[in-house]
Amino acid sequence: MKFYRRSPPGPLRTVTPGEKIPEMSVSTSFVQPATREKAIQMVSGSMNDRFVVSRRRTGFGDCLWSLAAAWHFAKQTGRTLVIDWRGSCYLDKPFRNAFPVFFEPVQDIAGVRVICDDDLNERSFPGPFFPAWWNKPAIDCVYRPDEQIFRERDQLDQLFQSKRDCDANTVVCDACLMWRCDQKAEREIFRSIKPRAEIQARINAMYREHFEPYSVIGIHVRHGNGEDIMGHAPYWADPQRALRQVCRAIDKARGLPHAKPVRAFLCTDSALVLEQVSTIFPDVFAIPKQFQAPHAGPLHSAALGAEGGVSALIEMYLLARCDTVIRFPPTSAFTRYARLFAPRVIEFDLSDPSRLILIEDKSQELVAS
């Protein structure tokens, strides 16, 4: 899906440390031909405006982590941050921006101006663009292969690592940018971005009823349910062994000191995982939600409607309020919020999934077991 274009296209290249992209003339990206006059007026009235567009259509963990990287670059370069989550996997309306559906409007994040409303279809942003792909005519960009997305990810990483700006007026971040910023930037985003009031009310009600009287062990098990889980695959090479590892981690967590009676809270994308873990630990509780059929793919699916996204947010924010969080696998961005804010985290070594790591009190001190 293509939303930014310019004519005629011009060459751009990646930035290396100590280098900037050569000067290029300003042209305008048009979302729709009917917006041409409005776009020209906007650009002519604000020729100095420069933008970073954070475009994601994936799960909330990826969306927010990638947003943190885009925000950090916008902060460094004095650009306006645009949150463009059209085509979201949580919505069946491809031209609707998912951000205001799930989060409260925000106009500024730590001094960075933010555009995140639902009228992006009527907005245009000035070229030239970086990465160079976005300078192509729209007809050439109907198909954007994975190889191109990975190439753009690397180009953006190179730009961010250079700690320099580029001459493009609009930088489009349409790739997974996990690990492309420091934890300070991630924390700023998680503190600044708030779920909509009605979603937050549901989170608070769940917390008061099921969490407040207990020391809660939050367990996140990303199964995949038949999707291509890519980097998570090594953890599921032997499914029965994986479940034994999860149960071992639960036992370890129960054995740690706790200030209140212990309760375990399970978040997973698989009804099978819920069934098997609940059989071994009958007191485990989960928030009722709609699962996909076995092997039918991930929960972040437009087929489940916006309520699927709401359920994901409720679990994401409740996990961060647990006393102890178990992350399986730790490569899942869904638990990044909990990883940064929960007082105690148990996860599995990336190089040896059978090895548990305990992270306590945000000290980053690792205690292997």
* Mean pLDDT calculated for residue range 212-236: 76
pLDDT beyond 50 at 346: yes
How far is the C-alpha of 100 from the C-alpha of 354, rounded, in Å?
40
pLDDT beyond 80 at 28: no
pLDDT at 241: 84
pLDDT at 138: 72
- Check if the beta carbon of residue 157 is closer than 8 Å to that of residue 178: no
* Mean pLDDT calculated for residue range 154-167: 95
- Check if the beta carbon of residue 73 is closer than 8 Å to that of residue 79: yes
How far is the C-alpha of 183 from the C-alpha of 333, rounded, in Å?
13
Dump pLDDT digits (tens) for 246-274: 999 999 999 999 999 999 999 998 888 88
How far is the C-alpha of 132 from the C-alpha of 32, rounded, in Å?
20
Better-predicted residue by pLDDT, 36 or 327:
327
pTM for this prediction:
0.80
Taking alpha carbons only, the member of 68, 71, 70, 85 closest to residue 300 is 85
- Check if the beta carbon of residue 187 is closer than 8 Å to that of residue 342: no
pLDDT at 31: 34
pLDDT beyond 70 at 348: yes
Tokens encoding 329: 């696998």
